A and B are shown apart, each in its own frame.
Chain A
Amino acid sequence: MINTPVDTKDTEFPISRQPTHSELVARGVTLPIAAGLSSRAAAPPSIGSASPEVVSVSLTVNGTLHALMLDTRTTILDLLREHLDLTGTKKGCDQGQCGACTVLIDGRRVNSCLTFAVMYDGAQITTIEGLATKGTLHPLQQAFIDHDAFQCGYCTPGQICSAVGLISEGRAKTADDIRELMSGNLCRCGAYGNILAAIAQAMRRA
C-alpha cells in the first residue's frame, strides 16, 4: 500500500456533488441504478443548526434528583452513561433492537436508547444500579446468579430490568409467556434457558 494524499487545495470540485451515472460508466463502473452510490451525507434536505440546542432537564434516577443542561439529542441512555456515570445500563445497538439499555421509566420497562431525555422531564427512572437495597440484591439479581443466567454480563442489566417490568406487568403465566415477553432482550451468549429459570424462580418467590 502506498500513501497518496490527495491535493486538498483543489477546491474546484463542488463538495456536495456526486459522480453522475455517466461519469461512473466512463470509468468502467457498472451500476444498476441511475443515482449510483452516494457519499454519506449527499445533499441533505436540512442539516440543522451548527450549534447544539441545549435545554434544562430534571429527572430522578434511582431516587436522586438530577438537574442538567442537555443537548436535545441526548438520550436517557447516553445521559446515564456519559453524564451520570451510571454505566450499568448498556448500549448494545442504540436502535431499539437488543434491549440491553432497558430501564424502568415511571415503572415501565422501555428502551432508553430511543428516548430523548428532554421528553422525560420530571420522570422517575430506575436503573440496574437502583435495584439492590442496602447491600441486599434484588431477588431477580440473586436468581440470575443462582441460575447462571448470563455469561459475558453485557445484556444482564437490561434483562434484569426487563424482568422487573415483566413481573410488575403481571401478564406472564407460563414459560412460553415469559419467553415471548422477554424476547426483546437479546443474549448473544445464549443464556435464555437460564434467564427463564431465574425469572421463574423470582416470580415464585414474589
Chain B
Amino acid sequence: MISFHYARASCVGEALQEVAGDANAKFIAGGTNLIDLMKMDVERPTKVIDITRLPLKRVERTPGGGLRIGALVRNTDLAYHPLVEQRYPVLADAIMAGASQQLRNMASTGGNLLQRTRCAYFYDIATPCNKREPGSGCSAIEGQNRMHAILGGSEACIATHPSDMCVALAMLDAKVHVGSASGDRVIAFADFHRLPGDTPQRDTHLNAGEIITAVELPPKGFATNYTYLKIRDRLSYAFALVSVAVGLELDGDTIKEGRFALGGVAHKPWRDPQAEAVLRGQPAHAATFARAAGVVLRDARGYAHNTFKIDLARRCIVRALTQAACGTPQSQSAKKIV
C-alpha cells in the first residue's frame, strides 16, 4: 500500500473541498472494499478523505411516502431498520445475503454502490485487466470466468458487479442523491452503474468530485410479494453466481406489476423493462415467469466457464418469481430453497 495523506471531513462541503481537483483522492467510509484494494495495490490513492463523520447516517421518511437513506447508514443498521424490515423487506434480505455480519457492520450504503468487481484479474496486478489498466487487455474473456458476466459484457470487460444490496435497490427503482461543488443531482438507479463498453475502468456515472449523499426509495416496497434468491458456491459468505430480487403486485392471480433484477450476471444490477412487460397483466404462474426469463436472457452470452449461468439464471428467475407470487420469500438463514 502506498503512503497516503489522511484528511477528515465533518460536513459534505468540507469533503467536496478536500476532493476538489485531486484525481488521486478517495473518500473512505466503511473501508471494507477500498482498504482491501489498497492492500492489493489496485487502488492507490495519495489522499484518503474520511467521510465517516458526515451527518449522513439517518433513515428518514420522505414527504412523498418513500424513504431517504443517508449514504453513511451501515448495512446492518439499514437491514435491521424497522421501516426497511416492514416496508422494503427485499432490501433487508438482499443486504443480509451479502458478505458477513462483520463486514455489514462496517460497510456503508454509499460504499456498497461503489464496490468494485471481484474479477480475479482486476485484483491481481500481475495480470492484464482493462478495468484496472485500460488498454492492457481482458484476461477473463479467455481465462477463469466462472464468476463473470453473461449480459451486457464487452470485448474489453466481462466483470460483474458484486453487490447484493444494489440488486434490490435496482428492483425498487431507488434514486441516488449526489452532491458536488457545482450542485446536487439525482440519478435513477438504473443509470447509476454503467456497462463496460470500451471504458470498463468506469463503474458508474458518478463524476470526479461528486459524493453520494443518500439513496432514496420510492413508496412502493413490495412488502407482500417479494424475494431475494441468491445462488452461490457455498451456502454463505460467497459472491453470487446468480441472484434475483423480485417484487410483485398481484390482483388475485394476476400480476399488476412485476419487477425483477439480477445480480452476478452483469457489470451492473440487471433490469429489463421488456422482460417485466411480459409479466404485466398475466397470470402469476411458471409459464409466465419462464417467458419473462426468456426475454431477459435473450442476448445472454456465456464463456468457457460460465455458460451454465444462462440456464441457472433462467431457473432462478422462475423460482424467485414463484416464491414472490406465493408470498414465501427465501430465508437468508435457512438454506432450504422454498
A residues sitting closer than 8 Å to B (CB atoms) are 32-53, 55, 71-73, 75, 94-96, 99, 102, 108-111, 113-116, 118-119, 162, 165-166, 169, 171, 174, 176-177, 179-181, 183-185
Interchain CB contact under 8 A, A184 and B101: yes
Q: Which of B131-139, B182-190, B216-224, B317-325 is found at the contact surface with chain A?
A: B131-139
B28 close to chain A: CB less than 8 A: yes
B residues sitting closer than 8 Å to A (CB atoms) are 1-6, 24, 28, 30-32, 35-36, 39, 41, 44-46, 48, 50, 52, 76, 80, 96, 99-103, 105-106, 125-128, 133, 135-139, 142, 235-237, 331-335
* Distance, CA A75 to CA B38, complexed state (A): 12
* Distance, CA A116 to CA B139, complexed state (A): 32
Q: Quick one: which of B6, B44, B335 contacts A53, CB cutoff 8 A? A: B6
Q: Could you list some 16 contacts between A and B, CB below 8 A?
A: A33-B128, A34-B136, A38-B125, A39-B126, A42-B133, A43-B133, A46-B24, A49-B3, A51-B3, A53-B4, A111-B32, A114-B31, A114-B36, A162-B102, A176-B331, A180-B96
Interchain CB contact under 8 A, A180 and B5: no
Given A38-B125, A40-B126, A53 contacting B5 (CB threshold 8 A): yes
Residues of chain B lying within 8 A (CB to CB) of residue A166: 101
* Distance, CA A53 to CA B5, complexed state (A): 6
Residues of chain B lying within 8 A (CB to CB) of residue A177: 333
Given A38-B128, A96-B36, A184-B100, A171 contacting B80 (CB threshold 8 A): yes
* Distance, CA A33 to CA B157, complexed state (A): 13
* Distance, CA A176 to CA B121, complexed state (A): 35
Interchain CB contact under 8 A, A184 and B35: no
Interchain CB contact under 8 A, A52 and B32: no
Given A48-B44, A72-B5, A176-B334, A119 contacting B28 (CB threshold 8 A): yes
Given A33-B139, A38-B125, A111 contacting B80 (CB threshold 8 A): no
Interchain CB contact under 8 A, B3 and A53: yes
Interchain CB contact under 8 A, A115 and B46: no
Q: Quick one: which of B2, B6, B237 contacts A47, CB cutoff 8 A? A: B2
Residues of chain A lying within 8 A (CB to CB) of residue B52: 119
CB distance from A43 to the nearest CB of B (A): 8
* Distance, CA A203 to CA B278, complexed state (A): 49
CB distance from A90 to the nearest CB of B (A): 13
Given A37-B126, A119-B31, A183-B100, A55 contacting B6 (CB threshold 8 A): yes
Closest 9 CB pairs of A and B: A184-B100, A48-B2, A183-B236, A33-B137, A35-B136, A48-B3, A35-B128, A176-B333, A180-B333
Given A35-B128, A46-B46, A53-B4, A169 contacting B101 (CB threshold 8 A): yes
Interchain CB contact under 8 A, B137 and A35: yes
Smallest Cβ-Cβ distance to A119: which chain B residue? B50
Chain A contact surface mostly: loop
Interchain CB contact under 8 A, B137 and A34: yes
* Distance, CA A52 to CA B3, complexed state (A): 6
Interchain CB contact under 8 A, A114 and B35: yes
Residues of chain B lying within 8 A (CB to CB) of residue A55: 6
* Distance, CA A187 to CA B52, complexed state (A): 32
CB distance from A56 to the nearest CB of B (A): 11
Q: Quick one: which of B28, B35, B142 contacts A32, CB cutoff 8 A? A: B142
Interchain CB contact under 8 A, A184 and B6: no
Residues of chain B lying within 8 A (CB to CB) of residue A38: 125-128, 136
* Distance, CA A177 to CA B31, complexed state (A): 26
Residues of chain A lying within 8 A (CB to CB) of residue B138: 33
CB distance from A136 to the nearest CB of B (A): 26
Interface centre among B35, B142, B334 (most CB of A within 10 A): B35
* Distance, CA A39 to CA B96, complexed state (A): 39
Interchain CB contact under 8 A, A111 and B3: no
Interchain CB contact under 8 A, B105 and A108: yes
Q: Quick one: which of A49, A109, A119 contacts B46, CB cutoff 8 A? A: A49
Residues of chain A lying within 8 A (CB to CB) of residue B28: 116, 119
Smallest Cβ-Cβ distance to B234: which chain A residue? A183
* Distance, CA A180 to CA B100, complexed state (A): 9
Interchain CB contact under 8 A, B137 and A109: no
Residues of chain A lying within 8 A (CB to CB) of residue B335: 176
Known: A35-B133, A51-B3. 5 other contacts (CB 8 A): A34-B137, A38-B136, A55-B6, A99-B100, A118-B6
CB distance from A206 to the nearest CB of B (A): 18
Q: Quick one: which of A49, A52, A174, A184 contacts B237, CB cutoff 8 A? A: A184
Given A109-B102, A183-B237, A95 contacting B3 (CB threshold 8 A): no
Given A35-B137, A109-B105, A73 contacting B3 (CB threshold 8 A): yes
Interchain CB contact under 8 A, A73 and B102: no
Residues of chain A lying within 8 A (CB to CB) of residue B236: 179-180, 183
Residues of chain A lying within 8 A (CB to CB) of residue B103: 96, 111, 114, 184
Interchain CB contact under 8 A, B106 and A115: yes
CB distance from B95 to the nearest CB of A (A): 13
